Structure 1
Amino acid sequence: MAEFVRHRIPFEGRRAVTAPATCAQRHIWKLMQSQLPDAAFYDVCYWTALPGHGTVQDLLDVLAELFRRHESLRTGFRWDADGGLFQQVVDSGEFVAEVWSLHRDEDPDSVLRAWRSRMRHTPFESARAPLIRFLVTVVDGAPVLAGFCVSHLVADLTSLRLLADEVPRLLDARVAGRSLPPAVPSRQPVEQARLEHSPRGRALLARARTYWERQLASAPATLLPPRDGADGADGVDGADRAHGVDGQAVPVRYSAVMDSRAVGLAVPVLARRWRVSTSAVLLTVVAKLLGRRAGLPTCALRLLSANRSDPELRATIGNLHTEVIVTIGLEGDRIEDVARRAFAACTTAYANALHDPDDVAELIASAHGPGVPVDLSYCFNDVREAHALPDAAEGRGRAPDDAALLRAAMADTVVAPGEFEEGETFFLVIDDEDPGWIRLVLNAERRALTPSEVHGFLYEVERSLVEYAGAAERIGEEEAGGVGSQATVA
């Protein structure tokens, strides 16, 4: 039977320093306050498989090395009497690692799932660094998996991916007796805060404010207003929504997961044909469906941005995540024209993703006049690592754009209830953990979309992509034969 020992491991760093919080840290802090008392809502878990060599001590030493390299892992947060948020980097302390020893016939994934569940209900104290905990699973004395649970204040998803790549490399070097590979030069969060308070940083924030003002001026007031008589859950009417039926509470939101091979095949076909990124393809279809449901010619969404276009931030471990509005015009006969507008709009949005969250909150609150806010509770989050426009030759030779193949792939699609939850009216996540497949996870408020409508929306995204890809294939064949043509999908 699996057993664990909780280790408390000392760490050291190069300096102790206090600085104002960055814009991204303040953004997440505001989101966390809105979820209280469930402070663990914005804690993030991630994990990486290890090659199964070395000792537990080797891995614990590697984890301690992470603290020396990355100041965010040694950072806590405090606020002054005026409500200002500060980041406080310590130069020493200790971290916690649970080391689980398993027999060969035991499942490491079950240990990971149980640990993640406990972490989900074990909030950090924001003022006490470090805001990260570790899981280590061991088989035959060698570590085979390292898990991270971290407050979103100190690390975003990109940071966790970087850590997941760094740990095995450091462990390999330590086990082989080589010098540890040096840390990639990167800007620490304290220096990011200083940049934001510099003349250059203030100019960037002023530019972003102007961008938000323009976007909000053309954004619709809302997309999916709550329906007074709508079902809180399928079969539960509005009068029973708050308390459910027979005393059983009905959740406010519902989540579903679609795993689709057809979407994975269709998206690169359309990206090549429309000359946009694969992310813009997905965003275009989602925006069209939301706009159609709302009966509006525009759609305003929040995009989640990693904010790493600056070379000095590419390897930064910290929270650089922000959210930025994009307003997409949906009118026009040709879907590729809408997609290209969406692609251009997203490029501009990401260029203005660094903003002052307090300024933006004020703008949103009075976007259409004093006390008349815009509802931006609609989020699109493509967490795939590769969004680029595919190479023109990619996929040729195996006919991924064959319409019959795409339709056949739809038979493999699975849609099921999910556990993902966000505090928004509509929150869609795109992922690609399995090669060749794309996963869409949609969490929506039941008063805006009932559970059956959530499932229907996901199926409609897939159907639209397959039909657009079939139209793109027909156009390609006609152009190859010298026949000019245009095609649209309703």
Structure 2
Amino acid sequence: MITAYTTDVEFHSGRARKAPLTWGQEMIWDLIRDLDEARTYAVLTRWMPIPLLLSVGDVLESLGELVRRNETLRTMYHPTASGDATQEVLGSGALPVEMFDRPVDDPTDYTTIVTDYLVRASEAGFDHEKELPIRFAVILQDGIPILLAFAVSHLSADFMSADLLVAELDAMLQARADGRPWPVARQARQPADLAALEGRPEGQLRNIEATRFIRRQLDRAHPDMLPARAVPATPRFFRGQLESSAVAVAVGPAARRYRTSTSVLLLSITSALMRCVCPGRAYPIDLMLGNRADPALAGTVCSLSQSILTVIDLTPSSFAGLVKRCAAVTAEARNHGWHRKRVVQGLIEAAGADRGCQFNDIWSQLPGRPSRPPVTLADLQEMTGSTSFSWPEQVPEKNKDLFMGIRGTAERMHLSLFADTALLPPGDIRAFLDTFERTAIELAFADVTPDQIAGWFVEASARYAHLNDGAR
């Protein structure tokens, strides 16, 4: 029988202070406040193994040090009368850690224990005014720490930040296992310092320049760029997910062939497929940006990611031309992606451009992706045998007409397409993702044209047309 109990982890000697929210935090705060479904969206989860032979005390001390080093993990968020919030960084304190001790003869699988904990932690959300924005759980076997899991509020961490916490904690635990001191803390700007920087005149200038950029995009965008193509299903919004090892291998060689980044290549494939959906010469798409180009922010644990509206031209007749357009749009968006969302939100809503599409490539930000030996086209085609497809979500409403998210591991990419079925019926969602994989594989070895990609999409759409009947 599993024994569950709670213990406290203390942290000391930190810097205590108060500050406004950063622009990234403010964006998440507004989302949590305005959207009912944001409760679970606003929690990020991770799990990791614990090096053997560490004691419970070693693990708990490392957790306390992790919280001390990262101010965002010891921050309370206090709402104001105007609907805004402030952040209060605690200098010392304690937080509970859940412990699950599994006897060696207990039949419960470790995966079940971790999954159940992370689901509960996500669904509970956070009371940001009364509790710290991170929860930990340690899974033991007969008193020996085996696994560690945590859930962190999106107010305090974006996806890259969650991975930074895993890497930092792994290094700290390994050092303890090796009998070495903890590694020196990363040099990174803390959220309260970032909020102060954003409040200075140079921060206001960034907002002025972002507003000008958004106005230029709105001059080209209009609501009719994404007209309905089908009778919507019930519920209306479907998310399809394709998990592919082949794409994870193919995008590196393909990006090198076009002398671009993997992120631009993935956006270019997405845009080539949007030619099959959009009747016009361009389409609107919010680009989600990590905003970590400043070396001082590369290791910052905070919610830095923000989206910015762009409009991508679909008229190039060659894929190389499409890559060139996507690269130029991405570069310009990065110059303006760090800004206060509230400054431009009114402009976007007034123009009816607050829905549209969104593109979020987290996969390309993965640290330390290994170099790979050369592969052949036959190798990649064989790898598609392990490709899987699923329908993780179906909901009646979503704040975007189409959302393309790219995540996964270095070895296996997860392509997630959330779409209004009036724009892409279920069969076309599946066709979009299948064609995405086929295109990435072909691009690793040869040029393909947007018209070829459109032909592949039509073939796949016919193959999956039966999925549309079942969704009515």
Would you say same fold, with TM above 0.5? Answer: yes
- Select the residue among 254, 259, 277 that pairs with 2:238: 254
2:144, 2:331 → 1: CA distance? 45
For 1:224 and 1:191, the matched residues in 2 are separated by 41
C-alpha contact (below 8 Å) 2:227/2:423 kept by paired residues: yes
1:432-443 → structure 2 map (5 Å cutoff): 432-433=408-409, 435=411, 437-443=412-418
Q: Distance in 2 between matches of 1:83 and 1:34?
A: 11
Q: Which residue of 2 aligns with 1:457?
A: 432
CA contact (8 A) 1:274 1:339 kept: yes
Kindly provide the amino acid, as one letter, of the partner of residue 216 in structure 1: L
- Verify the 8 A CA contact 1:222 1:375 in the aligned structure 2: no
Q: Distance in 2 between matches of 1:323 and 1:172?
A: 36
Where does 1:394-433 land on structure 2 (aligned, <5 Å)?
A: 398-400=374-376, 402=377, 404-419=378-393, 423-433=399-409
**AA matched with 2:292:** R
Deviations 1:244-264 (A, max 9, x none): xxxxxxx44222211223323
**Retained in 1: the 8 A contact 2:44–2:153?**
yes
1:201 alignment counterpart: 203
The answer as to 2:300 corresponding to 1:316 is: yes
- Equivalent-residue separation in structure 2 for 1:53 and 1:338 (angstroms): 53
Question: Does the aligned pair in 1 maintain the 2:244–2:386 contact within 8 Å?
Answer: yes
Give the 3-state SS of the residue equivalent to 2:156 in structure 1.
Answer: coil
TM superposition shift of 1:339: 0.7
Equivalent AA in structure 2 for residue 306 of structure 1: G
**CA 1:126 to 1:37, structure 2 compared with 1: closer, same or farther past 3 Å?**
farther
SS in 2 for 1:121: helix
Measured in 1, the distance between the counterparts of 2:453 and 2:126 equals 50
How far apart, CA to CA, are the structure 2 residues paired with 1:387 and 1:48? 16
Aligned to 1:429, the other structure's residue is in SS state strand
TM-superposed CA distance for 1:315, in Å, is 1.4
- In structure 2, C-alpha distance between the alignment counterparts of 1:114 and 1:101, rounded to whole Å: 14
* Partner AA of 2:362 in structure 1: V
Q: In the alignment, residue 102 of structure 2 is paired with which amino acid?
A: L
Structure 2 CA distance, aligned partners of 1:487 and 1:82?
52
Aligned to 1:162: 164
Using the TM superposition, give the Cα deviation of residue 189 of structure 1 relative to its aligned residue in structure 2, in angstroms.
0.5
State how 1:244-283 maps to structure 2 within 5 Å.
Answer: 251-283=235-267
Contact 1:12 1:91 in 2 (8 A): yes
Give the secondary-structure state (helix, strand or coil) at the position aligned to 2:130: coil
Q: Within the alignment, does 1:216 sit opposite 2:218 as a pair? A: yes
Q: SS at the partner of 2:427?
A: helix
Q: By how many angstroms is 1:309 displaced?
A: 0.9
Superposed counterparts of 1:223-242, under 5 Å:
223-226=225-228, 230-233=231-234
The equivalent residue for 2:419 is 444
Residues 2 and 225 of structure 1, relative CA distance in 2, 3 Å threshold = farther
1:382-424, Cα deviation, whole Å (9 max, x unpaired): 1115589x99xx767x443x3x444444444321222498643
1:351-387 CA-partner distances (Å, limit 9, x unpaired): 2111111111012023xxxxx3214441211111558
1:113-192 alignment runs, 5 A limit = 113-192=115-194
CA RMSD of aligned residues (A): 2.8
* 1:304 CA drift (Å): 1.6
Q: Counterparts of 1:135 and 1:423 in 2: how far apart (Å)?
A: 33
The match for 1:236 is none
Equivalent residue letter for 2:406? I
Q: Structure 1: give runs of 5+ residues left out of the alignment.
A: 234-250, 367-371, 476-485
Q: Is the 8 Å Cα contact of residues 254 and 445 (structure 2) preserved in structure 1? A: no
Q: Does the CA contact (< 8 Å) of 2:435 and 2:453 recur in 1?
A: no
For the residue of structure 2 that corresponds to 1:293, the secondary structure is coil
Asked whether the 8 Å contact 1:274–1:340 carries over to 2, the reply is no
Are the counterparts in 2 of residues 223 and 290 from structure 1 also a CA contact under 8 Å? no
C-alpha contact (below 8 Å) 1:78/1:126 kept by paired residues: yes
Task: Indicate how the Cα distance of structure 1 residues 272 and 122 shifts in structure 2: closer, same or farther if over 3 A, else same.
Answer: same
2:118/2:150 contact within 8 Å kept: no
Would you say the 8 A contact 1:302–1:376 is kept in 2? no
Q: Distance in 2 between matches of 1:205 and 1:161?
A: 29
Residue 8 (structure 1) shift: 2.8
Instruction: Please state how far the C-alpha of 1:443 moved relative to its aligned partner.
Output: 1.9
Structure 1: which amino acid aligns with 2:304? Answer: L
2:80 aligned with 1:96: no
2:465 aligns with: none
Task: Read off the aligned partner of 2:157 and give its amino acid letter.
Answer: A
Q: Which runs of 5+ in 2 are unaligned?
A: 455-472
Matching residue of 1:331: 315
Q: How far apart, in 1, do the equivalents of 2:221 and 2:313 lie?
A: 10
Does structure 2 conserve the Cα–Cα contact (< 8 Å) formed by 1:32 and 1:42?
A: yes
Distance 2:9 2:250 in 1: 49
